[in-house]
Each structure stands twice: as C-alpha cells, then as structure tokens.
Amino acid sequence: MSGHDKEFDADDPMALVPAVMDVPMDEASYRQMAETFVEEYMLLGYSDEKIVGLFRNPFYRATHEILKTKGEAYVMDLIEEIRNG
C-alpha cells in the first residue's frame, strides 16, 4: 500500500501537525527562522532566485510571512549574507 492509499490515522506519530504560537515573534525569532529556511534551501541546491520565489509565494505560509513582515530587501540581504558566508 503506497502512502497515497494509506487510510488516515489520527494517532500517526509521523503526521505533520501545524502549531500556532500565541506569542508574537520577536526580531531574533524571525531571523533564526529565516536563516534556517534559507540554509536548508541552499543545501538542497536551490538558486537564490528560486529561494526568493518561495518567500514570495503565499502557498509557503512561513516563508511568505517572513517576507510580508520583514520585506523583500531583508530576505535578499539574508540570502546574500548566507550564500557569501
């Protein structure tokens, strides 16, 4: 049985479960989250433009929230900083 045919199991320990924090994120939290996304995408071999595209795309809620909150220049600068060490 493939993963697509598997029946839903509410107790599945491997299921992705969204969580909402009821505390506003501070500057350090946004920075750490953004750095983590950028580093992971770079490790996957994504180009800088493809990474920015993920931040621009509202389908990717976490990255898009960073872009909406901090701005595109913030994301571009972060990508450049991480790419160039």
Tens of pLDDT along the chain (85 residues)?
A: 455 676 777 788 877 666 666 767 788 888 999 999 999 999 999 999 999 999 999 999 989 999 999 999 999 999 999 999 8
Alpha-carbon distance of 60 to 23, in angstroms, equals 21
DSSP 8-state code for residue 71: -
Does the model's pTM come out above 0.75? Answer: no
Alpha-carbon distance of 20 to 48, in angstroms, equals 29
Domain ranges of the chain: 28-83
Residue type for 9, please?
A: D
